[in-house]
């Protein structure tokens, strides 16, 4: 892979003062970022199929109280608003 980067003169001067080349310094920064990214990425969660999800959602549905139809009217949702 070829990446072209314009490095500001002051950064290049600081890097050279440390005895490095700007290209080598940037390469080391990118390599460190790649290593760090691999360490910090969480392992992927196993995918759940839709049937397992629905069964999980419905697993305690018998404990949900039955509400009257009036509980689902517009007025019941917005009774505190004009």
* CB within 8 Å of 25: residues ≥ 6 apart: 15, 18
- pTM of the predicted model as reported, rounded to 2 decimal places: 0.39
- Locate the domains of the chain by residue range: 9-40
Confidence of residue 63 (pLDDT cuts 50, 70, 90): confident
What confidence score (pLDDT) does residue 18 get?
A: 87
Q: CA 47, CA 54: separation in Å to the nearest integer?
A: 14
Average of per-residue pLDDT values in the chain: 82
Reported as a single tens digit per residue, the pLDDT across 33-61 is 888 876 666 666 778 889 988 998 889 88
């Amino acid at each position: 892979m070829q990446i072209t980067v314009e490095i500001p003169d002051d950064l290049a001067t600081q890097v050279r003062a440390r005895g490095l080349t700007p290209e080598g310094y940037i390469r080391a920064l990118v390599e460190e970022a790649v290593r760090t990214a691999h360490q910090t990425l969480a392992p992927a969660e196993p995918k759940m199929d839709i049937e397992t999800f629905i069964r999980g959602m419905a697993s305690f549905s018998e404990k949900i109280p039955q509400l009257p139809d009036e509980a689902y009217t517009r007025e019941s949702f917005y009774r505190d608003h004009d």
